[in-house]
């Protein structure tokens, strides 16, 4: 009768002796354990989030009006200042250049894709949701920064300040990654709304006015930094977190954002007149 100690030794010897059953069991463990762990992990954190596009921009730009138009096909319903974010699920036909009215029909041709359009409040005190979702939202495919092109002259500073925050957050998202694996591109559409009003600036002017103002903001922010005693050497080491675009350049242009894997397009339109197809196509191409 072998003692338990002898039994154990015999068992260990058996396991350590190369034999077919030991190899088979060992191979099964090596192959199956990672698969089981993978299934376990992916099921406990289900990937439920649809690709999403976030609408940001100053108050009164027409974000909620656009959401309502896309959801119900009717912009006439009056909107009021948003207090909370709101998402709707929409469907695009990916390979077809349909107008949004055709695309939202169930029998629209082509491959369908669902996505979430997220409306955020534009008020300065309620922007944290929008800003958080730019960096943290899973499946974020694009950002639509909407502004009122008819009152941009009066609101230029406030609008550009918000845009600066948005672009800077996206720039940091890319530049803070030290590995070679850069995060996927998130592009920005500047939707210059209310082209139906006669005071509305055309997209080209919206672009040049914003670029000039963003350049001014950038300069005044860096002055504050220099005054605080941070030397230009620190700045060159990437210490200047507040500088948007190409460091040290005299003028800001949206093209400078390409260095950070960020394309900025400026397209005019009007929610009231239903002229939103160019924006719709921009969104479909990002999904």
Binding site for Mg ion (CB under 5 A): 63-64, 82
- Going by C-alpha positions, the residue among 278, 207, 274 that lies closest to residue 62 is 274
Smallest gap, in angstroms, from Cβ of residue 194 to ligand GTP? 4
Smaller CB separation from ligand GTP, 243 or 280:
280
Sheet holding 52-56, edge to edge: 86-93, 112-119, 52-56, 140-148, 187-193, 264-268
Could you say which DSSP state residue 250 is in?
S
Query: Using CB under 6 A, which of the segments 12-20, 74-82, 85-93, 233-241 binds ligand GTP?
Result: 74-82
Could you say which DSSP state residue 236 is in?
I
Q: Is 113 exposed, middle or buried (0-12, 13-18, 19+ CB in 10 A)?
A: middle
Smaller CB separation from ligand GTP, 68 or 187:
68
Smallest gap, in angstroms, from Cβ of residue 274 to ligand GTP? 9
> How is 139-194 classified by DSSP, letter by letter?
TEEEEEEEEETTSHHHHHHHHHHHHHHHHHHHHHHHHT--SS-PPPP-EEEEEEE-
**How many helical (H) and strand (E) elements, i.e. helices and strands, does the chain have?**
9, 6
Smallest gap, in angstroms, from Cβ of residue 100 to ligand GTP? 14
Residue 271 touching ligand GTP (CB under 6 A):
yes
226: Cβ–Cβ under 8 A, 6 or more apart, which residues?
A: 232
The Cα–Cα gap between 212 and 167 comes to 15
Smaller CB separation from Mg ion, 130 or 167:
130
Question: 114 - beta bridge partners?
Answer: 91
Smallest gap, in angstroms, from Cβ of residue 202 to Mg ion? 24
Among 133, 151, 193, 284, contact with ligand GTP (rule: CB under 6 A):
193
Among 71, 79, 156, 281, contact with ligand GTP (rule: CB under 6 A):
79
Smallest gap, in angstroms, from Cβ of residue 82 to ligand GTP? 3
DSSP3 helix / strand / coil % (the chain, rounded to 5): 50, 15, 35
267 phi, psi to nearest 5 deg: -135, 130
Smallest gap, in angstroms, from Cβ of residue 149 to ligand GTP? 9
Among 272, 277, 282, 287, contact with ligand GTP (rule: CB under 6 A):
272
Residue 196 touching ligand GTP (CB under 6 A):
yes
Smaller CB separation from ligand GTP, 95 or 273:
273
Smallest gap, in angstroms, from Cβ of residue 176 to ligand GTP? 28
Which residues inside 42-71 make contact with ligand GTP, applying CB under 6 A?
A: 57, 59-65
Which residues inside 120-139 make contact with ligand GTP, applying CB under 6 A?
A: 121-123
Smaller CB separation from ligand GTP, 89 or 273:
273
89 phi, psi to nearest 5 deg: -95, 130
CA distance readout (Å), 108 to 66, 91, 104, 207, 238: 21, 10, 7, 34, 49
Among 52, 54, 82, 266, contact with ligand GTP (rule: CB under 6 A):
82
Smaller CB separation from Mg ion, 118 or 217:
118
Q: What are the residues binding ligand GTP (CB under 6 A)?
A: 57, 59-65, 79, 81-82, 121-123, 193-194, 196-197, 270-272
């Amino acid at each position: 009768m072998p003692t338990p100690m002898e039994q154990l030794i015999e068992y260990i010897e058996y396991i350590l002796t190369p034999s077919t059953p030991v190899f088979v069991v060992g191979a099964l463990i090596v192959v199956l354990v990672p698969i089981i762990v993978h299934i376990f992990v992916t099921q406990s954190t289900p990937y439920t989030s649809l690709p999403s596009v976030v609408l940001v921009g100053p108050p009164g730009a027409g974000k909620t009006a656009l959401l309502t138009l896309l959801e119900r096909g009717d912009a006439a319903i009056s909107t009021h200042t948003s207090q909370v974010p709101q998402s709707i699920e929409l469907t695009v036909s990916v390979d077809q250049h349909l107008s949004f009215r055709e695309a939202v029909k169930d029998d629209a041709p082509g491959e369908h894709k669902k996505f979430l359009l997220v409306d955020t409040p534009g008020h300065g005190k309620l922007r944290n949701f929008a800003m958080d979702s730019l960096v943290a939202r899973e499946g974020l495919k694009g950002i639509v920064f909407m502004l009122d092109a008819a009152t941009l002259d009066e609101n230029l500073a406030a609008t550009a300040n918000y845009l600066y925050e948005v672009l800077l957050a996206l720039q940091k998202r890319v530049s803070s990654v030290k590995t070679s694996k850069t995060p996927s591109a998130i592009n920005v559409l500047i939707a210059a709304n209310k082209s139906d009003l006669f005071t509305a600036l055309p997209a080209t002017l919206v672009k040049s006015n914003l670029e000039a103002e963003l350049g001014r903001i950038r300069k005044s922010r860096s002055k504050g930094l220099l005054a605080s005693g941070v030397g230009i050497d620190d700045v060159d080491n990437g210490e200047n977190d507040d500088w948007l675009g190409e460091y040290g350049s005299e003028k800001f242009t949206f093209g400078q954002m390409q260095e950070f894997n960020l394309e900025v397009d400026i397209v005019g339109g009007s929610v009231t007149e239903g002229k939103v197809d160019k924006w719709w196509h921009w969104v479909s191409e990002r999904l």
